[in-house]
Amino acid sequence: MPLAGIRVVQLGNFIAAPTAGRLLADFGAEVIKIERPRGGDELRNWRLFEGDTSMLYRTINRNEKSIAPDLRTGEVRAMVLELVSCSDVLIENVGVSIGDSIAGLYAAFGVVMSLLDRTTRKNYGHVPWTPMERHIDVSLHEAVFSMTESLVPDYSAHGVLRERTGGRMQGLAPSNACPCVGGDSVFGRYMEAIGRPGLRDDPSLATNAGRWTRRDELDHAIEAWTSRRTRDEVLAVLEAAGVPAGPIHTAKDIVGDAQFAARGTGLSPRVPEPIRPREPAG
């Protein structure tokens, strides 16, 4: 694997640093995560569990090793410093957190570029950078799929399907999606597509502010139309009308999707685990 032989020490909790470590581990790096001796990473205690560890923790920290040294003793601190000194990369977010998976992605990218620069200088001396033509196949859905966290592992290990939560994040409050302005032309096409020209032509619904005051009425009109049609029928009509729309997949839909299977999007961790649920690649 491209990062085989690279040792990474990861000193961080929650999402950002563990995501960077996971991405490096997926490409062969040895990632050693340092946790608190009492309780470990807080993510171990979130949502569904397998044994004494949450599925979310297992997903975010896939393929990483873990140690929990008591840094209050001088001997242990010296051992940890020795481990860091003989490693290639140190990742940490124990101070001000960069806070999310995208930050972890940027961190991993920066590490890879630094390792590449080090290898180039070691093997060839100081040489100017020259761009090379490459064909890079990037799937839009796969790039976002890794952000589903423990959605598929929760289903794979426990058979649990997430309920509809609207704009809210499962298990956390407060969290929601709030309305913004714009999209008036889409509204007209939307109402035309569902056979409600009266709503399309209603002056009080010409702006988002007006529609927001009658949001329940609009939702009922839309649901009355969608509830009499299959998901594929709804998508076909809206696509023809130029109205952006897409299906909301359950974890079961994702696991059984032929496109995800053909591209090998579902991975199982290399580091031994008591269970091996399918997880999103990346």
Output the domain CATH number for residue 13: 3.40.50.10540
Q: In terms of pLDDT, which residue wins out, 110 or 1?
A: 1
- Domain containing 71 equals 7-138
**Which one-letter amino acid corresponds to residue 260?**
F
Give how many domains the chain has, as a whole number.
1
Q: Which burial class, exposed, middle or buried, applies to 93 when counting CB atoms under 10 A from its CB (0-12, 13-18, 19+)?
A: buried
Domain for residue 98, yes or no?
yes
Confidence of residue 264 (pLDDT cuts 50, 70, 90): confident
The region of weakest confidence among 60-69, 173-182, 239-248, 265-274 is 173-182
Residue 50 domain flag: yes
Length of the chain measured in residues: 282
Strand, helix or coil for residue 185 = helix
d(CA 37, CA 44) in angstroms, rounded, equals 13
- C-alpha of 137 from chain center: 19
194 touches 221 (CB < 8 A): yes
Burial 232-267 (b: 16+ CB within 10 A, else e): eebeebbeebebeeeeebebeebbeeeebeeeebbb
Banded pLDDT at 279 (limits 50, 70, 90): low
Answer yes or no: is 236 within a domain. no
pLDDT band per the 50, 70, 90 thresholds, residue 32 = very high
Domain membership of residue 231 (yes or no) is no
71 within some domain: yes
Percent of the chain with pLDDT over 70: 70
Bridge-based pairing state of the strands 279-280 and 266-267: antiparallel
